[in-house]
Amino acid sequence: MKTKLTLAALCILASSVQAETLLLQEPSIAQNKIAFVYAGDIYVSNKQGQQVTRITSHAANEYAPHLSPDGQWIAFTADYEGNNDVYIVPATGGQPKRLTWHPGTDEVRGWSPDGKSVLFTSRRDIAHNRTGQLFSVAIQGGFPTKVMEAVVSDGKMNADGSKLAYNPERLAHGGKNGWRNHRGGTTPPVWIYDLNKNSYVEVPHGNFSDSSPMWVGEDIYFISDRSKHKNIYSFKQGQVEQVTHFNQWDVANANAFGSDIVFEKGGAIFLLDTLTGNSKQLNIDIKVDLPQRRTQFKDAMPSLSSSQISATGKQVLLSARGEVFSVPVKDGSTYNLTNTSGQNERDALWSPLGEQIAYITDKGGDYRLVLADQFGEVQKTLDLGKHTADFYLFSWMPDGKHIVFGDSNMALWLIELKSGKKTKVMKNIAMTSYDVVSSPDSKWLAYTRNNTNYLRDLYLYNIKDKSHHKITDGMSDNAEPVFSPDGQYLYFASSTNKGLTAFGLDLSSQERPQRYGLYAAVLQQDGQSPLMPKLADEAYRSVNGSQDKDEEEADDSLPSIDIKGLSKRIVALPVPQRNYWGLTATDDNNLYFIEGVQIGSSIELDGKPLRSSQLKRFNFEERKVDKVAEKIESVTVSADGKQLLLVGEGNALSTATVAEKVEVTPLNTADVKARINPTQEWAQIFDEAWRNERDYFYDPKMHGLDWQGVYDKYQPLFKHVGRREDLNNLMREMISEMQVGHNYIIGGDVHREETMKVGLLGADFEVKNGLYRIKNIYTGEAWNPHLKAPLAVPGNKVSVGDYILEVDGQPLDASINLYSLFVGKVDKQVRLTVSPNGKAKKAHTLVVEPIKSEFDLRHWHWIEDNRNYVTKATGGKVGYVYLPNTTTAGYTSFNRMFFAQVDRKGVILDERSNGGGQAANYIIDVLNRQYLSGWKYRSGDMVYDTPAGAIYGPKVMLIDQDAGSGGDFLPYAFKRLELGTLVGKTTWGGLIGISANRDFIDGGRVTVPNFRFFTPDHEWRVENEGVAPDIEVELDPVAVNKGQDPQLDRAIKEVQQQLKSFKPVRHDTPPAFPTELGR
């Protein structure tokens, strides 16, 4: 097991940074200065790494510093108001000046050679590519100018500004994604674009990634992983040479000035002299206060992971932010029962009588079970297992003797609390959740288990003799078992149509209603249905005997379960078949449950599926369903069956007493706060990220990687973490050693600025005659009710070519950044003064309501432009369908666009920049439809087809390096089934999926790659490989700058060529009518 941080190390963390500070990032050099980032702030030193000065100290994220050529200014990106914009600040310190206001992300890439403008990339004008465009903004301010239409990820201009060395694609390893040595499609080259001649050349390239291009005189230097470790290379006189030869840590974020290059490696900054080829580490010592390291109280509710109401319903036990809290329902105070910052205590349970609690702890590095009294005093600690796994608690059995728990290997366990003895109950064959519940007498477990038909059966497990009994027949999906308090019934939900959605990875599971019925299994042979006919009182007595026994004569023992014939004693409850979960049986012998809407049944105004749920109750006496509460997502009951705990949207907790009329009372969680020592918590998160990869990665042997060795390599850097964001960066670098996709570090308790939203008008602008002129107005196209186009509203009396002279009465000209006048204006009424010729004399005023994002407006404009372009180019013979991803949006887009064009002879499917999501079998099935028949009615000339929704002619699919995950699977399947031709660039190459592991205690997470695709040929493919096109076409920047799309043009050419030889299989007319009877 790995070495844990010692108390001494933690004490050092709490004081000052060590003599040599590491985790220094993004160095830039000019003159005798180096600017860099540490802990989210910008610093400047001299070229030797001495005389360090802190330039910025804001809590917001400041990054991408670039010194101006004269060394007087630093341009950088910061999210001071919750938005990433471009700022400049004197290199000696001072007040930053904001240069951009657009609500999209603007990232600084450098300076113009004369130092008068800052270069930055932004996706503000583009909505169909994951890479942005390059812009220039003057240091005096004003409106940014686009350098060119072609996309740019990173780049630098040469000394006279005539050439741009740049990456036309983003890296696979970057941002939240850890993926060293990527060899799929996202392997950017370095292009050198001549801005005067409109031509470009490529630095010799192969299946590797080149990045950080920079000029040293007339030569190009860049970072490349072509030697398996990122090093610096040069491109001189047409030849590429390796300059550095590091083999332990990768080189990152290089910048040049004169003959010097600065770069990161292993958290340190290095200086390379290109004249000699020698590099040296700069020993930079930073001693500053780091506010994020200070101990502080945090609201733990956003990180709530579990909740349970006590036996009598007087307290609620919460697991949140790695602590266990006891919260009173009515009287008393909230208590933190663990107070262990830096440990993850979770899955807390009440004992059946409420005198004890149990929870899992990771104290010491392994997961263990803790038993404590109700005040948190630890009484006993038990091992959960020596095998490598994550663990989670299900329930404390009613007799108090056992706890039911599971592990990440899908095994179900019982642990005897007195002896610590563990019994393995079963192991689920599927990597999906299963349900388990204890019988009231603690003699049985009811659980669900997957079959190879993807459906779940319901089982009973006899704890005494360890026997298993299957009580359903495999012909339905069974879930949510719960025993009635009197031990007479086992209630559960069952679906006979779940098969269509049983494997949620398939896109064919979209918009398929899951209909569950509710059932009761009668557990005794002589038991009666809970729905026996109601009889008159005398008749009831004659059949069932006297019901007038005194209470002291009543038999309190619970009836035994009779297995024989149990599967024949299942009764359907009279409820509609809908989407149910959370079955809960209460003391009054009623059954509570959650009813959710069928996903896809309706769409909200924002374009998102309606998601809502209600708490309902089946009243056995009245035999009807009552609605109890709205917007409830889960329900549990106290051990005595009398109190309910409800979890609503956003972890809103409430309680209710079981009664004929249920009154819901919010639970006061205002005092659920944890005292956080950040360095201790960060150490725990770092370790848990490492354990999560160990416990959940699809290959237990981790492709042969020495995972302990990786921990030992990166853990020493932990002491230099100055803020939560730095921890994310460190963990991302650690997991990148696995060299797989879908391996992300996301979120956590990072600093978040309050966003001052900037409004947009849904238009393009240009500066003409010193004023802002409307260049284009986006309309939202047709049939998009969730889109709002501010300037396209009928009656606004504004047109392309008009000038905007004033915003809310404030004069506007080119010296002012247009968007600076729209800060805080989203969805607010704004008065615009516009003029057709820029003159006040013809100006008029209109009122608009700016929007927060133009992405969807621009996206649909691009899609419709492409569709119309294809229609015109092919004379209406070929359809065009865009697929943004392979989940809800892609499913919706396909259905919307494909079936509206089934009268076309062929089709182009465009999945460039496809974001993935699910395996698009549904789309493949539709594309693979074969013509079966025609149908002719008496009236009307139209001939109907079966299948009607099909295009039987040539099919071409556009792919690129930004299409991945489900965007890899779609072209793979398209190619495998020989449905058509792939045109474009090799896809990303990421088909190890994510699904399983838990979040970190502060809400962040690592997305461990948990399952992997293989082919019918029994081969691991596509991962770190991608899907190659049949016809490779580069997105040529020269053509793009002319307004062309060479990939789409090549697809059109290909489908037209194939149409020439295509023989139609469907008939537009019926055969001649029969002339003989009986034919």
Question: How many Å apart are CA 680 and CA 224, to the nearest integer?
Answer: 36
Structure tokens at 172: 């696979």
Pick the more confident residue, 1079 or 680: 680
Residue 452 amino acid letter: T
pLDDT tens digits, 305-344: 999 999 999 999 999 999 999 999 999 999 999 999 999 9
Q: How far apart are CA 481 and CA 521, in angstroms?
A: 10
Type of residue numbered 287: K
Residue 476 to residue 485: CA distance in whole angstroms? 26
Rounded Cα distance between 1030 and 984, Å, is 8
Which residue's entry shows tokens 């004490």?
A: 11
- Intra-chain end-to-end CA distance of the chain, in Å: 81
Instruction: Look at residue 7 and tell me whether its pLDDT is greater than 80.
Output: no
pLDDT of residue 556: 63
Residue 780: is its pLDDT beyond 50?
yes
Dist. CA 403–CA 1001, nearest whole Å: 23
Task: In the chain, count H helices and then E strands.
Answer: 11, 71
- CATH 2.120.10.60 residue ranges of the chain are 18-289
Report whether pLDDT(545) > 70: no
Contact (CB, 8 A) for 153 and 131: yes
Mean per-residue pLDDT, 582-609: 86
Rounded Cα distance between 545 and 594, Å, is: 37
Q: Which of 742, 835, 911, 1025 is catalytic?
A: 742
Residue from 480, 595, 854, 1023 carrying the catalytic annotation: 1023
In this structure, are strands 1031-1032 and 981-984 parallel, antiparallel, or unpaired? parallel
- Collapsing DSSP to helix, strand or coil, 659 comes out as coil
Helix (H, G, I), strand (E, B) or coil at 13: helix
Per-residue pLDDT for 6 more than 60? no
pLDDT at residue 969 greater than cutoff 60 = yes
Nearest residue to 589 (alpha-carbon basis) of 484, 493, 437, 491: 484
Residue reference for tokens 């999945």? 911
Q: How confident is the model at residue 398 (pLDDT cuts 50, 70, 90)?
A: very high
Which residues belong to CATH 3.90.226.10 in the chain? 856-990+1026-1061
Q: Using DSSP, state whether 297 is helix, strand or coil.
A: strand
Q: Which residues pair with 460 in a beta bridge?
A: 446, 469
Kindly give, in sequence order, each residue whose CB lies less than 8 Å from that of residue 923, ignoring residues fewer than 6 positions away: 507, 883, 886, 890, 894, 970
C-beta separation of 907 from 950 below 8 A:
no
The three-state DSSP-derived secondary structure of 808-875 is CCEECCCCCCHHHHHECCCCCCEEEEEECCCCHHHCEEEEECCECCCHHHHHHHHHHHHHHHHHHHCC
Encode pLDDT of 877-933 as tens digits.
Answer: 999 999 999 999 999 999 999 999 999 999 999 999 999 999 999 999 999 999 999
Task: Look at the chain and count its residues.
Answer: 1079
Is 742 among the catalytic positions? yes
- 15 flagged as catalytic: no
pLDDT(758) > 70: yes
Homologous superfamily assigned to 856-990+1026-1061: 2-enoyl-CoA Hydratase; Chain A, domain 1 (3.90.226.10)
Decide if pLDDT at 11 tops 50: no
Set 326, 345, 965, 1025: catalytic member:
965
Q: Tell me the sheet residues that pair with 519.
A: 492, 572
pLDDT band at 536 (very low <50, low <70, confident <90, very high): low
- The helix (run of H) or strand (run of E) holding residue 172 is none
pLDDT at 52 over 60: yes
Sheet architecture: strand order including 145-151: 106-111, 117-122, 133-138, 145-151
Residue type, 879: G
Of 657, 638, 650, 649, nearest to 316 by C-alpha is 638
Q: How would DSSP label each residue in 407-447?
A: ETTSEEEEEETTT--EEEEEE-SSSS---EEE-TTSSEEEE
DSSP state of 1069: S
DSSP 601: S
Q: What value does the CA radius of gyration of the chain take, rounded to a whole number of Å?
A: 33
Contact 643, 655 (CB under 8 A): yes
How far apart are alpha carbons 674 and 491 in whole angstroms? 39
Beta carbons of 335 and 347 less than 8 angstroms apart: no
User: Judging by DSSP bridges, how do beta strands 260-265 and 664-666 pair with one another?
Assistant: unpaired
Which amino acid belongs to residue 774?
Answer: I
Residue 999: its H or E element? none
- Proportion of the chain above pLDDT 70, given as a percent: 96
| Sign of torsion over alpha carbons 1055, 1060, 1064, 1068 | positive
pLDDT at position 600 is 72
Cis peptide before 785 (omega within 30 of 0): no
Q: Which residue has the higher pLDDT, 732 or 600?
A: 732
How much is the pLDDT for 10?
43
Structure tokens at 91: 């290199």
Q: Where in the chain is the domain with CATH 2.130.10.10?
A: 296-428+671-676, 430-538+559-638
CATH match of 296-428+671-676 with 2.40.50.100: no
For 199-203, 266-270, 504-508, which range has the lowest pLDDT when averaged over its residues? 504-508
Second-level CATH architecture of 18-289: 6 Propeller (2.120)
Cα separation, 283 vs 48, in Å, equals: 8
CATH number for 430-538+559-638 (one of 3.40.225.10, 3.20.20.210, 2.130.10.10, 3.55.40.20): it is: 2.130.10.10
Nearest residue to 371 (alpha-carbon basis) of 401, 342, 341: 401
The residues near 679 (Cβ < 8 Å, ≥ 6 apart) are: 10, 13, 14, 293, 721
Which structure tokens are listed for 9?
Answer: 């190390």
Q: Is 420 left (phi over 0), alpha (psi -120 to 50) or beta?
A: left
pLDDT for 546 beyond 60:
no
Question: Which phi and psi angles does 381 have, rounded to 5°?
Answer: -130, 130
Pairing of the two strands 906-910 and 878-882: parallel
- CATH 2.30.42.10 in the chain is located at 763-851
The residues with which 74 forms a beta bridge, in sequence order, are 67, 89
Interior angle at CA 378, CA 373 and CA 382, nearest 5:
110
Q: Is 1023 a catalytic residue?
A: yes
For residue 537, the model assigns a pLDDT of 55
- Asked, as a colleague might, if the bond just before 947 is cis with ω within 30 of 0, I would say yes
Write down the pTM of the prediction: 0.94
Q: Which residues contact 321 (CB under 8 A, 6 or more apart)?
A: 298, 300, 303, 674, 676, 1001, 1002
Tell me the two tokens of residue 176: 């939240």
The rounded distance, in Å, linking the Cα atoms of 1026 and 187 is: 11
Average pLDDT of the chain? 94
pLDDT digits (tens, 9 = 90+) for 162-212: 999 999 999 999 888 999 999 999 999 999 999 999 999 999 999 999 999
Q: How many CB atoms lie within 10 A of CB 683?
A: 23
CB atoms within 10 A of CB 562: 14
3-state secondary structure of 1063: coil
- Residue 1077 has a pLDDT of 94
Over residues 119-130, the mean pLDDT reads 95
What pLDDT does 547 receive?
Answer: 44
Residue 548: what pLDDT?
A: 45
CATH number of the structural domain 763-851: 2.30.42.10
Q: CB–CB of 997/695 below 8 Å?
A: yes
- For the chain, give the percent of residues with pLDDT over 90: 91
Nearest CA among 478, 361, 461, 456 for reference residue 414: 461
